[in-house]
Structure 1
């Protein structure tokens, strides 16, 4: 893994240090898995109230809170990273409406804390900031979104990520920091909770185990750009390695999939008959009808997705089939 010549000159005989915030989250855990296969020293930062990532050789762990600026300064001073991947965030749209203060505190203040400390120490490495496709305005007419398209979030979560995105741009240009940003679309995969794919999987596994009779669903019409998290984290590493400083990259497949089609794939792989029933309480008023990205820019770096939707669904179902009964949500 080549993460830049500056680091090679500074540490000719030492492994590069990559620090990951939010390492205990869905994307963070998969990113650690990729980094462990490379010759780098990994520092996994995770929230003090979250479950620690699985211990592994070559990984050091730092438990704390990104909103605590003193803790951020301490971690940077102790580990002196060459590269940072900032994933720590409140990452679900629904809860952002219920607790906007906490969403902005983590997503905006946490990012500013990190940027301020990097400025203070004259950080000479590279920061990759995970932003979001939720920053984009809905395209009219529907079409894949370019990184240059209008940013106008439809949720508090999206606005918090937009503010963090723009703060990173300002710090990069004003203070000469090597910062690039990524806007992942809808990453799905084993271990994620609270999204439509995991909801479908939990419901189907509940039916397979005889815990539920029907699968309750909400709006099946939205079109989304679903991408396997394993491809997503490879995209992160590609940008960290080859991305242009100051640039932003969509991490997406470029293919729009109606939620109805996603559900059909889950049903096709179910081990029991599935009766689908519409549930008005599951229809979210903030659902955007179409959100698909254009991956041309990240593809120019040599990245491309490898996992099919069928493979992603199979992996998600197997994950939930391995969970104990008390982890499943009973439905109808």
Structure 2
């Protein structure tokens, strides 16, 4: 670790992932903290070290498989963080449906290992446990906008796993007085997100079509669902505010408080497209259960911190498409 005797250390699990990279950059901009960036293996840690090589005094990359309790304990003992952002998780609903056991085991036991590891420290750090709107699951129309008191009715294994980690984190607050803050982040999007997720999937297909690398046909699932989208750059601002300003034991929704149909997302991207495109339904992209509408209520967090999204959906989608255009140009 860099010499940080006078500065707080923030440890980020899942630091090589989509949100982890945005969070690390944000913390480097707004704080003087030293960052301990955790990757699952040595190869990932080497890539992180290279990525942040210009911050030798502020960033250290560590290899630690957080499904391994001993590895987690060693990483925490080595870094003695003041803050822990627990981002690492299996987040794909499709993957969770394909392999429920892997998602449940990965998400629950990695969280357990982290909670046990922080409990063993002489001064347990403030820990931000990242939940999801998927915890609310089967939302009835009259439940919208969803606040933190809305009943949790997860309708897929990923949502179940996040309810489990949410409640486990709360139990450690009650049982051991750990300073854990929980957030339930609604759909967040941005440049660099995997095309396993809907906005990136559409944008990549548009970019491939524009480049002549795909027939002018976009494969889609259910377009009628309405979701609450927030730019990842706004979400990481919220994570920083949550871990520094929120009350341990509390839970906060993070969302735009606006509902947008998947059809509207696709239409916006097609308006940006430079060629005519046909849309076709792909049955493999349909979920067994798909809630028609979910929109969040972030009043609790907004009143505490003043946070609200600054980047509109249209700008987010434009940035996502530009990212995929660049990616497609660089592909052979």
Q: Is the 8 A contact 1:107 1:160 kept in 2?
A: yes
1:112 is the counterpart of 2:112: yes
What is the CA distance between 1:122 and its match in structure 2?
A: 4.1
Task: Kindly indicate whether residue 197 of structure 2 is the aligned counterpart of residue 195 of structure 1.
Answer: yes
2:97 and 2:156 in contact (8 A); partners too: yes
Residue 44 of structure 1 is matched in structure 2 by 37
Per-residue Cα deviation, 1:190-227 (whole angstroms, up to 9, x for no partner)? 11111110110011011101122211211100000011
Counterparts of 1:1-332 in structure 2, within 5 Å, are 14-37=6-29, 38-48=31-41, 51=44, 52-53=47-48, 54-56=51-53, 57=55, 58-142=58-142, 143-193=144-194, 194-211=196-213, 212-300=215-303, 301-324=305-328
**How far has the Cα of 1:73 moved from its partner?**
0.6
Which 5+ residue runs of structure 1 have no aligned equivalent?
Answer: 1-11
Deviations 1:10-66 (A, max 9, x none): xx9711111101111111111011011121100001111774432240211011210
Residues 137, 159 of structure 2: 8 Å contact kept: no
CA deviation after TM superposition for structure 1 residue 140, in Å: 2.0
Runs of 4+ aligned residues of structure 1 deviating over 3 Å after TM superposition are: 49-53, 324-328
Q: Distance in 1 between matches of 2:137 and 2:98?
A: 22
CA contact (8 A) 1:137 1:150 kept: no
CA contact (8 A) 1:138 1:290 kept: no
CA distance in 2, matches of 1:125, 1:48: 24
Q: Distance in 1 between matches of 2:62 and 2:132?
A: 25
Kindly indicate whether the alpha-carbon contact (under 8 Å) linking 2:190 and 2:317 is maintained by their aligned counterparts in 1. yes
Q: Deviations over 1:151-207 (max 9, x none)?
A: 121010111111111010001111111011011110000111111101100110111
For residues 283 and 99 of structure 2, what CA distance do their matches in structure 1 show?
Answer: 23
Deviation at 1:82, TM superposition (A): 0.4
Q: Quick one: structure 1 residues 118 and 275, their matched pair in 2 at CA, closer, same or farther if it must change by over 3 Å?
A: same
Q: Distance in 2 between matches of 1:325 and 1:227?
A: 27
* Structure 2 CA distance for partners of 1:50 and 1:101, relative to 1, 3 Å: farther
Partner Cα distance (1:159, 1:327) in 2: 37
Quick check: 1:185–1:227 contact (8 Å CA) kept in 2? yes
Query: Deviation of residue 276 (structure 1)?
Result: 1.8
Instruction: Tell me the number of residue pairs that the alignment of Structure 1 and Structure 2 aligns.
Output: 318
Stretch of structure 1 that moved more, 55-64 or 244-253: 55-64
Secondary structure in 2 matching 1:177: coil
> Which stretch has the larger CA shift, 71-80 or 318-327?
318-327
Q: 1:175 to 1:112 in 2, by over 3 A?
A: same
Structure with more of its chain in helix, by fraction: 2
Q: Deviations 1:292-327 (Å, cap 9, x if unpaired)? A: 111111111110100011110111011101114686
Go from structure 1 to structure 2 and tell me whether the alpha carbon gap of 1:13 and 1:325 turns closer, same or farther (over 3 Å shift): closer
TM-score, normalised relative to structure 1: 0.91
Instruction: State the Cα RMSD in Å.
Output: 1.9
Give the TM-score taking structure 2 as reference length: 0.91
Write the distance in 1 (CA, Å) between the matches of 2:283 and 2:43: 32
